[in-house]
Amino acid sequence: MSANEITITKKCNHPAHQRYWRLWLAFIFLLTRFCEQVDGGETNNFGNSYGFIFDRFNLTLEQGYRTEAAGPFYYSQQTEDENSFAFPPFYSHVCNPSVQYTNYDFLYPLLTRMQYGQEWRWQLFQLISFAGGQEPTGADKTRHTIFPFYFYQRSKTDTNLDYTAFFPFYGTIKNRLSRDQIHFVMFPIYSETRKKDFVTDNYLYPFGAVRQGDGMHGWKIWPFVGSEQKIATLQTNGFGDIETVGGYHRSFYLWPLCIIQDNRIGTDNAEQISITHKPSLAGQKKTGVPEKFRASIPLFVYTRSPELDSTTVLWPFFTWIDNREKKYREWQMPWPVVIFARGEGKTTSRVFPIFSRSHNATQESDSYLWPIYTFRRTHADPLDFKRTRVAFYLYENTVEKNTQTGHYQQRVDMWPFFTWHRDFNGDERLQILALIEPAVPENPGIERNWSPLWSLWRAETDPKSGAASQSLLWNLYRRETAPAHKKVSLLFGLFQYQCDGENKRTKLFYFTVFKTTATAQ
């Protein structure tokens, strides 16, 4: 009998505590409203703060205000141009009517919806997407994608934009995957791709192909044999000038054992196409003399032209480069472990991963015990860019400076402890902790949906206005200062102090215990 009585008592105690808690919250709410009325209704200037339960405050770095509640799980913010609210990490919404921009995030980046003017897009983890809007020509379009199986687009005003594809069975895709048009039947049995004036018919991709267009024709039965030729042609560049596009003769036999190429035929200003995939050989301007490229990989690769000679033995390990255009010579033995280059255009000393130092007139790259320490710099007026890293994202310091004005912005990250940012206006923001931000800096989706969850400490400073704010544990402690304003809230607002010029007020347990008011002159 006594055991039953104990059981009944436990069942009754739980709802009783809930009733007491609800009554206490109701009492605090009514008491606060009463105190506000007693204080003369000055809620905008001396409103109560409740720590991470509920707080509303002016923004420090821009005009507007922000409301936060339930710790990191709710906020809303309004500025001159933009309104936003969120329930991190589940949902966030941003709206900027001045540019007709709206964004919705659901468990970012799982599901997002974006609209910019008449352009809109839904996406589910970048695999399922629905989009629509207008082409530059003014034609409307609606696009559905279930990547990589289903591609669909329709236009009410231009049927030439319509396409449907069920991969790999049959279909047509337009202006996707870096091609103007892709048509396939039982891929890889047959597919046709178009890019500008070039058409490629693939049979049992990638083994058989026929290419043609704009003075070019070729074929291949890979890896056994292939040949492609192009004559020099004319085209109009982005400035409206007529320029020559070089021709070439390219062939292979038992690829990659025999590769023969003669590039930039019939032009005085074409560029070499790198097929060795080595950055040191790419992007060199040529004269009218054809460039000869021969390779029998992995035995040797060599390039000969008036501006550049390059020879590789046991590709890609041992290479000698004489770049007469950029005025340097380079030895790679073996690449990428040991590299030395000397000359006006480039100076490099590398014994990877122990050390590496490389620089030219505009760029500098250093590393010691890679990836323990790396440094990159680019200097090309008016830009001066520097980046220092320790162990990838463990520590990173990035400075971008305008050499003409002297203004600079800087970002310092130390994963997972903090991220600090200073913009060109001098505004500063510090956040502790930073679990993802160092790896994906300046990502609005992360900042909206995930950063509030682990921002134990936030500090912002506006040097121009003199305003500053600090927040600990989602406003359990919050301090705001400005030249003529100061506000402090502590422990759910049980202690509050605010000063506006000669008007001062101190509250304990939401009651005003001290108050001074400026005397009217």
Strands 328-332 and 179-185: unpaired
Contacts of 296 (CB under 8 A, 6+ apart): 256, 257, 258, 259
Q: What is the pLDDT of residue 289?
A: 77
Question: If we measure between CA atoms, which residue out of 434, 444, 429 comes closest to residue 59?
Answer: 429
Domain count, the chain: 1
Q: What is the pLDDT of residue 519?
A: 60
- Asked if residue 226 lies in contact with residue 202, where contact means CB atoms within 8 angstroms, the answer is no
| Amino acid at the residue 374 | T
Mean pLDDT for the stretch of residues 473-492: 91
At 444, which helix (H) or strand (E)? helix 444-449
Greatest mean pLDDT among 267-276, 359-368, 499-508: 359-368
Q: What is the pLDDT of residue 154?
A: 95
Question: If we measure between CA atoms, which residue out of 305, 312, 301, 314 comes closest to residue 285?
Answer: 305
Instruction: Give domain status of residue 322, yes or no.
Output: yes
Instruction: Give domain status of residue 289, yes or no.
Output: yes
Instruction: Give domain status of residue 250, yes or no.
Output: yes
Confidence of residue 237 (pLDDT cuts 50, 70, 90): confident
Contacts of 520 (CB under 8 A, 6+ apart): none
Helices of type H across 2-68:
2-38, 43-46
Q: Is the pLDDT of residue 243 over 70?
A: yes
Q: What is the pLDDT of residue 29?
A: 53
DSSP 280: G
Region of poorest pLDDT, from 27-36, 148-157, 164-173, 463-472: 27-36
Between 393 and 37, where is the model more confident? 393
Q: How far is CA 425 from the centre of its chain?
A: 22
d(CA 77, CA 448): 11
The pair of three-digit structure tokens given for residue 291, joined into one six-digit string? 């460039």
Q: Is the pLDDT of residue 285 over 70?
A: no
Confidence of residue 426 (pLDDT cuts 50, 70, 90): very high
At 196, which helix (H) or strand (E)? none
Instruction: Give domain status of residue 211, yes or no.
Output: no
Encode pLDDT of 15-35 as tens digits: 555 565 565 555 555 444 444
Confidence of residue 271 (pLDDT cuts 50, 70, 90): very low
Encode pLDDT of 46-92 as tens digits: 467 888 889 999 999 999 999 999 999 999 999 999 999 999 999 99
Question: If we measure between CA atoms, which residue out of 359, 300, 357 comes closest to residue 328?
Answer: 359
| Amino acid at the residue 77 | Q
Question: If we measure between CA atoms, which residue out of 58, 120, 87, 100 comes closest to residue 448?
Answer: 87
Q: What are phi and psi of 48, to 5 degrees?
A: -75, 150
Instruction: Give domain status of residue 247, yes or no.
Output: yes
CA-to-CA separations, 32 to 25, 310, 478, in angstroms, rounded = 11, 80, 19
Q: What is the pLDDT of residue 323?
A: 96
Q: Look up the domain containing 274 and give its range.
A: 231-344
Between 275 and 18, where is the model more confident? 18
Instruction: Give domain status of residue 242, yes or no.
Output: yes
Q: How far is CA 175 from the centre of its chain?
A: 23
In the chain, the percentage of residues whose pLDDT exceeds 70 is 86
The answer to whether the predicted template modeling score (pTM) of the entire model surpasses 0.95 is no
Instruction: Give domain status of residue 52, yes or no.
Output: no
Between 450 and 270, where is the model more confident? 450
Instruction: Give domain status of residue 361, yes or no.
Output: no
Helix (H, G, I), strand (E, B) or coil at 309: strand
Average pLDDT, the chain: 87
Q: What is the pLDDT of residue 107?
A: 96
